[in-house]
């Protein structure tokens, strides 16, 4: 029997994003673009402040999907559009709230529609994942 039900709303989880975490992600991923670390640089290219790597946000959501799937080994497909930047001011813990709904269920897979918000604003569009059952 599936661990999911169709139309089920999966429990939300909150992830904290701050400057130190962006530095750690830059080092782990190799993406050292200064817009994710250097406030003066970010502002010089017209951004409001330092912004999180889109892939950091997506990585946290991937962690959520893996957890819902009981193992990241079961994550088959995962996609998202980066619609709004996650702005990360100095010395602030920004909360990313992730939740999902089961929109398709077969004997083999569950398809999730994912919502990721910061300050009630959706930061990802068309975020979906396919989990192997």
Partner 1 sequence: MLNPDLVGRTFEGATSTTITAEAIATFAQALGEPETELASPTFAITISLEQSQSLLENSGLDWSRVVHGDQRFLINKPLVAGVHVTCNSTIESARVVAGNEIVTVRSDLIENDEVAVSSWSTLVFRA
Binder among 49, 59, 94, 117 for partner 1 (CB under 8 A): 59
Of 13, 20, 101, 88, whose CA–CA distance to 54 is shortest? 88
In the DSSP assignment, the letter for residue 86 is -
**Contact of 100 with 67, CB cutoff 8 Å:** no
Binder among 10, 65, 87, 98 for partner 1 (CB under 8 A): 65
Residues 93, 16: Cα–Cα separation, whole Å? 6
Binder among 10, 15, 42, 100 for partner 1 (CB under 8 A): 15
Using the minimum distance from each CB to partner 1, give the nearer residue, 7 or 75: 75
List of residues contacting partner 1 (CB under 8 A)? 15, 21, 24-25, 27-31, 53-56, 58-60, 62-63, 65-66, 71-73, 75-82, 126
């Amino acid at each position: 029997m599936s661990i999911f039900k169709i139309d089920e709303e999966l429990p939300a989880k909150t992830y904290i994003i701050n400057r130190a975490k962006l530095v750690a992600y830059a080092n782990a991923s190799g993406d050292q673009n200064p817009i994710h670390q250097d406030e003066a640089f970010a502002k010089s290219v017209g951004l409001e402040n330092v912004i999180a790597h889109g892939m950091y946000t997506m990585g946290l959501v991937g962690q959520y999907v893996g957890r819902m799937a009981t193992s990241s080994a079961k994550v088959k497909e995962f996609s998202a559009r980066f619609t709004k930047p996650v702005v990360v001011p100095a010395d602030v813990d920004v909360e990313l709230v992730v939740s999902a709904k089961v929109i398709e269920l077969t004997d083999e897979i569950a398809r999730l529609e994912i919502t990721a918000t910061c300050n009630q604003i959706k930061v990802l569009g068309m975020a979906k994942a396919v989990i192997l059952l």
